[in-house]
Amino acid sequence: MNLDLALMLDLLGCFFFAVSGCLLAVRKGFDLVGSVLLGSLVGLGGGVLRDLILNAGPPAAFSNPLYLAAPLLAAVVVYFVVGGVKRANRLVLTFDAGGLALFCVTGALKALDAGMNAAAAILLGVTTAVGGGILRDVTANQVPSVFDPKTMYAIPALLGSALATGLWYLGWLNLATGTISALLVFTLRMLALKFRWQAPLAARSWARPRFRRG
């Protein structure tokens, strides 16, 4: 896949995650600067972690100023558009799903381009995709949504990373197939949210205990 196209998907993922961060900032009562910071942490955090692990020079978010535009734009959009806390809560999950879908693809791609093996690429794709969201929720002092047992979160990202890795090995990964993979992941995640698809609990034959975010 052309790297400029990978950059485009990556920037779009940053923007989606940044919006989810800014929306959470609204819900938590942070100010505009906190909104930019939480947006940056979520939008850029997963990618910075990915680039630190790849160990190939300073992370893209620091060497390419374009990346800074994503959280700034997200904070401005959220500032002018958002109308209510209820809606914000639902939108966090939607934009988060968009970031998740794009990052699992670009994360796997970057790892493969850096010469990692397939298992590492899939793992790094999932790490990139769930990393930003974990940073967001830990910083805002709530249990990360990736651990919410009421809906699937990591499984769509895992499938997306594996799909992108498979396509890369077949030489079929390009902007079209990459975008389709991301759309599949997004659809899967939204369906999991809507129909509350659940994975089995962490211990066999257990009553489902109450899960609290706080």
Over the window 129 to 158, marking each residue x when it contacts a copy of itself by CB under 8 A and - when it does not, the resulting string is -x---x---xxxxxxx-xxxx--xxxx---
Task: Identify which of 41, 75, 32 has the alpha carbon closest to the alpha carbon of residue 61.
Answer: 41
Instruction: Give CA–CA dist 110/107, Å, rounded.
Output: 5
Are the CB atoms for 71 and 18 separated by under 8 Å?
yes
CA-atom Rg of the chain in angstroms: 17
**Token pair recorded at residue 5:** 């196209």
CB atoms within 10 A of CB 116: 18
**Token pair recorded at residue 170:** 């077949």
Instruction: Give CA–CA dist 214/212, Å, rounded.
Output: 6
Does 79 sit near a copy of itself (CB under 8 A)? yes
Does 116 sit near a copy of itself (CB under 8 A)? yes
Question: With CB under 8 A, what is the number of residues at the site for a copy of itself?
Answer: 71
Among 3, 52, 176, 180, binds a copy of itself (CB under 8 A): 52
Among 6, 70, 124, 173, binds a copy of itself (CB under 8 A): 124
Nearer to a copy of itself (CB atom), residue 35 or residue 106: 35
- DSSP per position, 94-119: HHHHHHHHHHHHHHHHHHHHTT--HH
Does 171 sit near a copy of itself (CB under 8 A)? no
Among 1, 10, 13, 35, binds a copy of itself (CB under 8 A): 35
Does 73 sit near a copy of itself (CB under 8 A)? no
Are the CB atoms for 164 and 181 separated by under 8 Å?
yes
Does 170 sit near a copy of itself (CB under 8 A)? no
Among 10, 12, 34, 104, binds a copy of itself (CB under 8 A): 34
Does 80 sit near a copy of itself (CB under 8 A)? yes
Shortest distance in whole angstroms from residue 175 CB to a copy of itself: 26
Amino acid 111 reads A
Among 5, 59, 175, 184, binds a copy of itself (CB under 8 A): 59
Does 94 sit near a copy of itself (CB under 8 A)? no
